[in-house]
A = this chain, B = another copy of it.
Amino acid sequence: MYIGVDVGGMSIKAGLVDLNGKIVARQSVVTRAKESESAIIDDIAGLIRDLTLSCGMSMSDILGVGIGLPGAVNDDMGIVRYCCNINFVEVALVAELQKRLDFENIYISNDANCAVLGEVVFGIAKGKRDVVLITLGTGLGTGIITGGQLLKGHQSAGAEGGHMTINIGGPVCGCGKKGHFESYASATALLAQVKEAMEKHPESLLHEVAKNDGFDGKTVFTASKMGDKVAIRVLNRYLKYVGIGLVNFANLFYPEMIIIGGGISNQGDNIIKKIEKYVNKNIYSAGLTPKIKVTVSDMKNDAGIIGAACLAIKN
Residue numbers of A with Cβ under 8 A of B are: 72, 81-82, 90, 129-130, 142, 144, 146-147, 149-161, 163-168, 175, 177, 244, 247-248, 251-256, 282, 284-285, 288-290
Contacts and interface: CB of A to CB of B under 8 A. Distances in A.
21 contacts: A72-B284, A82-B285, A142-B252, A144-B252, A146-B158, A147-B149, A147-B150, A147-B151, A153-B254, A154-B255, A155-B289, A155-B290, A157-B254, A158-B252, A160-B284, A160-B285, A164-B252, A165-B248, A166-B168, A175-B284, A177-B284
Contacts of A130: 153-154, 158
Nearest to A247: B165
Q: How many copies does the complex hold?
A: 2
A167 B165 CA distance: 8
Contacts of A254: 152-160
Given A149-B149, A158-B130, A289-B157, A164 B253 contact: no
A158 B166 CA distance: 19
A200 to B, nearest CB: 20
Nearest to A241: B168
A252 B147 CA distance: 15
A132 to B, nearest CB: 10
A153 B146 contact: yes
A244 B177 CA distance: 11
A285 B164 contact: no
B165 A290 contact: no
Task: List the 10 closest A-B pairs by CB distance, nearest first.
Answer: A153-B254, A158-B254, A157-B254, A157-B289, A163-B284, A160-B251, A130-B154, A164-B248, A160-B284, A167-B168
Contacts of A72: 284-285, 288-289
Nearest to A131: B154
A288 B81 contact: yes
A142 B284 CA distance: 14
